[in-house]
């Protein structure tokens, strides 16, 4: 099954929204699903190496996402949001090939069997 997970929340916003979304993506992928993650709005900071885990936070979300991407989960990050969103506006993403467009997101939505947002 093709599952698209769209993240919008800032990674370290004091909640577990982003962390729970990543955990779900990992489990779905381990169960054999074609998992695709699209980051937009303030969630784009999850794809930036300069975004360091706060001391009071248990999990390094950037490292989690990077490992999932390296293990085969498909990842795209809003290109427009790179300059407009997050705490680290204009900072690069950890992999240049993940920068995407709204057309890329639209294609993934059309191909997906399920779309989940966090």
Average pLDDT value for the chain: 96
Superfamily the domain 2-117 falls into: DsrEFH-like (3.40.1260.10)
Res 39: pLDDT: 98
Length of the chain: 118
Res 85: pLDDT: 93
Q: What is the pLDDT of residues 36-80, one digit of tens each?
A: 999 999 999 999 999 999 998 999 999 999 999 999 999 999 999
CA angle 63, 38, 26 (to 5 degrees): 50
Dihedral of CA atoms 29, 101, 21, 70 in degrees, nearest 10, equals 40
Per domain, the residue ranges of the chain are 2-117
């Amino acid at each position: 099954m093709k599952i698209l997970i769209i993240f919008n929340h800032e990674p370290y916003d004091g909640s577990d929204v982003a962390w729970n979304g990543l955990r779900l993506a990992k489990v779905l992928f381990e169960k054999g699903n074609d998992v695709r993650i699209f980051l937009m709005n303030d969630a784009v900071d999850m794809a930036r190496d300069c975004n360091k885990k706060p001391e009071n936070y248990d999990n390094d979300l950037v490292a989690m996402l990077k490992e999932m991407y390296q293990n085969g989960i498909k990842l795209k990050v809003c290109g427009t949001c790179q300059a407009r969103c997050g705490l680290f506006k204009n900072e690069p993403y950890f992999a240049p090939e993940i920068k995407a467009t709204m057309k890329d997101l639209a294609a993934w939505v059309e191909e997906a069997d399920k779309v989940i947002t966090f």
